[in-house]
């Protein structure tokens, strides 16, 4: 995913990341020895223990397996009243697969209630791109809809999550990520409002789309992003600490990776002047993630960050996004002569790819191609070396294989009228690595993202670091 990709690009080596850290903690049981977990279970014995997060096996922000294991352990340890608030995916998994994950969760809940004599219910939910999971403060109203849903019990009143999906399917052709918020009710009352004294676990492990809802739960009167109306005093814990610099949240179940000695830090030591730019949707990737999950500037004397605000619309409605503005800003920075190393991210391929709209994705790729052409001209005029790569694929695979056993290279034999499934998730394809304007390079050796850092150091004529994976240049 993008978090892992940019950590690796900026860190020069491979780090054990969220999904693997969480799975290891669950396998060896260390997560359940965490004092914060013990406090949450104790709360569930007298009040209500809530689990909130993305319900899928995409393993980009979360994994249903982690939720299932925590529910089983909480019931085993005696938690009596547990409520689950689910965010539906359709982005890192098939676009209309929510029924599979909901059915598995409902089956587990039925088993635990029967075997452990506890009271576990799904309480609320909605699509991940409609409620709760905003990032980089691009759309606080999305977070407010989530707050109103999970905390205040606002949304379509249904008897179960399965019923909510049935209603949505009957009235919309959109993917799971846009499911309208719903509230499970009994006798006309929500079954799982979040109240004073409750415990809340946000079980996503990835940070970017977890920070804002965490702030809403943990911030005091200084919180002004939206009117929370009622702020229950809860014990809130993240699966991980999503921002180590701002300590968000203060309590968490699994320690995050420690990423230090990044490329940016090394360049600052050598007084390399850096420029980082993207639109809101990817700004944190060329700053926060690139710098080893470090918020803010490392050293303003040698860094300039430029964020171009993204539009708050579905990206397939405007697939060119802010590619033009990013290009203009970068060309200006190149011409200025103020910088030695510039890094930018075009968000089009990823964000439009996630919509599943093939026509829009084609436009998105065409726009990026056009902008790269302009960058090439600017690099030629300013004697700049251009490196083009990506952190993962997306637009390169917009359809699932139309039938079992068909290889991707054989898809061309099928027309779009054939039976196929839209693909909204990242692809597993290798990404390109293109170097333009460095005449001394004879060839590039095959490699991975961890080798980009030393490659860049060689291109800016700094000696490589043994700490990093070797350069790709031959």
In this prediction, residues 465-471 reach a mean pLDDT of: 95
> Can you give the pLDDT at residue 399?
84
Write out pLDDT tens, residues 70-106: 999 999 999 999 999 999 999 999 999 999 999 999 9
pLDDT tens for 201-222 read 999 999 889 999 999 999 999 9
Inter-residue contact 84 to 71 (CB < 8 Å): yes
**To the nearest whole number, what is the mean pLDDT of the chain?**
93
**Closest by CA position to 268, among listed 317, 226, 301, 244:** 301
- Catalytic residue numbers, as ranges: 2
CA proximity to 105, closest of 148, 152, 68: 68
Average pLDDT over residues 133-150: 95
Sign, Cα dihedral of 281, 286, 288, 292: positive
> What's the confidence (pLDDT) of residue 423?
85
Question: pLDDT class for 415, splitting at 50, 70, 90?
Answer: low
How high is the pLDDT of residue 1?
A: 78
pLDDT in the model for residue 419: 62
Q: What percent of the chain has pLDDT over 70?
A: 95
Q: What is the pLDDT of residue 9?
A: 97
Q: Is the pLDDT of residue 416 over 60?
A: no
327: nearest Cα among 356, 347, 298: 347
pLDDT at 245: 65
Lowest mean pLDDT among 78-87, 170-179, 413-422: 413-422
| Distance (Å, whole) CA 291 – CA 459 | 19
Q: Is 120 left (phi over 0), alpha (psi -120 to 50) or beta?
A: beta
Per residue in 184-195, pLDDT tens?
999 999 999 999
> Phi/psi class of residue 391: alpha, beta or left (left: φ > 0; alpha: ψ in -120 to 50)?
alpha
Average pLDDT over residues 149-170: 97
The model's pLDDT over 282-329, given as tens digits with 9 standing for 90+, comes to 999 999 999 998 889 999 999 999 999 999 999 999 999 999 999 999
**What CA–CA distance (Å, rounded) separates 52 from 329?**
39
Cα dist. 229→144, 273, 334 in Å? 11, 46, 48
Tell me the per-residue pLDDT of 116-132, one tens digit each, with 9 for 90 and over.
999 999 999 999 999 99
Query: Which residues, other chains included, contact 438 with Cβ-Cβ below 8 Å and sequence gap of 6+?
Result: 385, 459
**Per-residue pLDDT at 437 exceeds 60:** yes
| pLDDT on residue 118 | 97
Q: How confident is the model at residue 405 (pLDDT cuts 50, 70, 90)?
A: very low
Q: Residue 356 pLDDT > 60, yes or no?
A: yes
**What is residue 406's predicted lDDT score, i.e. its pLDDT?**
45
Neighbours of 279 (CB within 10 A): 25
Question: What's the pLDDT score for residue 440?
Answer: 67
| Cβ atoms of 423 and 379 closer than 8 Å | no
**pLDDT for residue 448:** 96
d(CA 213, CA 80): 26
């Amino acid at each position: 995913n993008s978090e892992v990709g940019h950590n690796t690009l900026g860190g020069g080596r491979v780090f054990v990341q969220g999904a693997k850290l969480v799975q290891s903690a669950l396998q060896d049981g260390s997560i359940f020895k965490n004092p914060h977990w013990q406090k949450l279970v104790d709360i569930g014995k007298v009040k209500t223990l809530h689990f909130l997060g993305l319900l899928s096996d995409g393993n980009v922000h979360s994994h249903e397996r982690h939720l299932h294991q925590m529910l089983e352990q909480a019931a085993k340890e005696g938690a009596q009243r547990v409520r689950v608030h689910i965010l539906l995916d359709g982005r890192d998994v098939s676009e209309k697969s929510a029924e599979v994950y909901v059915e598995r969760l409902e089956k587990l809940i039925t088993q635990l209630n029967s075997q452990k004599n506890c009271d576990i219910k799904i309480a609320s939910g909605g699509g991940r791109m409609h409620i709760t999971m905003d990032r980089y403060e691009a759309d606080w109203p999305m977070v407010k809809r989530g707050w109103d849903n999970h905390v205040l019990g606002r949304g379509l009143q249904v008897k179960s999550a399965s019923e909510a999906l049935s209603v949505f399917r009957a009235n919309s052709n959109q993917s799971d990520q846009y499911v309208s918020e719903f509230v499970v009710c009994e006798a006309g009352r929500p079954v799982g409002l979040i109240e004073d004294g409750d415990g809340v676990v946000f079980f996503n492990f990835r940070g970017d789309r977890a920070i804002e809802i965490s702030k809403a739960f943990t911030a005091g009167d200084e919180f002004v992003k939206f009117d929370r109306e009622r702020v229950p005093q809860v014990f809130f814990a993240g699966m991980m600490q999503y921002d180590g610099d701002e300590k968000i949240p203060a309590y968490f179940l699994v320690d995050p990776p420690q990423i230090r000695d990044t490329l940016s830090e090394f360049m600052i030591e050598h007084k390399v002047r850096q420029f980082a730019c993207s639109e809101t949707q990817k700004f944190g990737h060329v700053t926060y993630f690139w710098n080893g999950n470090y918020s803010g500037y490392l050293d303003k004397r040698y860094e300039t960050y430029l964020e171009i605000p993204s539009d708050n619309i579905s990206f397939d409605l405007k697939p060119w996004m802010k590619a033009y503005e990013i290009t203009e800003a970068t060309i200006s920075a190149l011409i200025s002569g103020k910088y030695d190393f510039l890094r930018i991210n075009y968000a089009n391929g990823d964000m439009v790819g996630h919509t599943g709209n093939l026509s829009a994705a084609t436009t998105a790729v065409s726009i990026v191609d056009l902008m790269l052409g302009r960058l090439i001209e600017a690099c030629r005029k300013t004697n700049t070396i251009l490196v083009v790569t990506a952190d993962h694929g997306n637009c390169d695979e917009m359809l699932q294989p139309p039938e079992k056993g068909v290889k991707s290279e054989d898809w061309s034999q099928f027309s779009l009228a054939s039976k196929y499934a839209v693909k909204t998730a990242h692809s597993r394809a290798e990404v390109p690595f293109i170097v333009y304007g460095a005449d001394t390079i004879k060839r590039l050796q095959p490699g991975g993202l961890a080798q980009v850092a030393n490659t860049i150091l060689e291109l800016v004529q700094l000696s490589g670091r043994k700490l990093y994976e070797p350069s790709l240049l031959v």
